Amino acid sequence: MMPADLDLMIILPALLAGLLVLVTHIPLGAQVLKRGIVFIDLAIAQIAALGVIIAGAGDFEPQGWAVQGAAAAAAVLGALLLTWTEKRWPEVQEAQIGVMFILAATGGLLLVAHNPHGGEHLQDLLAGQILWVRYQQLLLPAVGTALIAAVLFFFQNSLSRLGFYLIFALAVTASVQLVGVYLVFTSLIVPGLAVRHYVGKKRMALAYLVGAGGYAAGLVLSTLYDLPSGALIVWCLTALAVLVYALGPKPPGGLRAMHS
């Protein structure tokens, strides 16, 4: 397919899905980086995916309320457990997050082991099928995004540990089913890394531009060259983030600060 043949209306629902994810994931990602719990997003996303797999084993409608509820319940339970482990053993919280991630990932493998379509379903949850998102799938995530964005706007600086984990879990629940685990992690972490030395309002604005530009470029290129959308968005978003970081202000203390 040549650029002149590209119908932008084809990728518009997918782009809207990506923008919905970015609305909440960029501010949440900034908090994750600030709190030093980078891999919490992978763990919660994988736990939410495990909830989807468990619901799928019951032959529920993939986009139905039962699956949404199972994913949300799994993510919230994971968030509650992480809250408890952080209080009980704070010095090894990052390691505990890693253990939860690997348990959820391998649990999903075990549950789909005898499902003839299990590998394909698992791949969809990891890499996502963002290019095939339809407008009707965006209604519920849009409502959830608006509510979560409002909470983050009004209570971002006063959220307790438990409140943060619960909001995070609910945000990740919907986004995993829209864009997959890989894009959830990328949307949360990569824009924040790109702008970490910027200051003021420019910082968040650039983070959103990096995210939106990465999604748009990845979707267009994947459509033109028939490549996996989720994987290409990850690469485009990361490349744009590297460029924005390289052109941005240097960290205090030069190279020494970059390694500290």
pLDDT attached to residue 126: 81
pLDDT attached to residue 58: 64
CA distances in angstroms from 173 to 3, 24, 48, 75, 97, listed in the order given: 35, 12, 6, 7, 17
Phi-psi region of 180 (alpha: psi -120 to 50; beta: other; left: phi over 0): left
Q: pLDDT tens, 128-162?
A: 889 889 998 899 889 999 999 999 988 877 888 88
CA contacts within 13 A on the Cβ side of 76: 10
pLDDT attached to residue 63: 59
CA distances in angstroms from 127 to 123, 193, 243, listed in the order given: 6, 21, 24
Count how many domains the chain has.
1
For the chain, residues with pLDDT lower than 50 are: 1-2, 255-260
Helices and strands, counts by H and E, the chain: 11, 0
pLDDT attached to residue 60: 59
Q: Identify the three-state secondary structure at position 157.
A: coil
Please report where in the chains the tokens 């600086």 appear, as a residue.
157
Domain residues for the domain of 27 are 3-258
CA contacts within 13 A on the Cβ side of 191: 32
Q: How far is residue 258's CA from residue 255's CA, in Å, rounded to a whole number? A: 5
pLDDT attached to residue 173: 83
> DSSP label at 64?
S
pLDDT attached to residue 128: 80
Token readout for 63 is 């986009």
CATH of residue 8: 1.10.3470.10
Chain mean position to CA 122 = 16
Residue pair 233/215 in contact by the 8 Å Cβ criterion: yes
Q: 133, 231, 135: which is closest to 182 by C-alpha?
A: 231
CA distances in angstroms from 26 to 14, 41, 126, 181, listed in the order given: 18, 12, 20, 15
pLDDT attached to residue 201: 82
pLDDT attached to residue 64: 61
> DSSP label at 113?
T
Q: 98, 70, 67, 71: which is closest to 85 by C-alpha?
A: 98
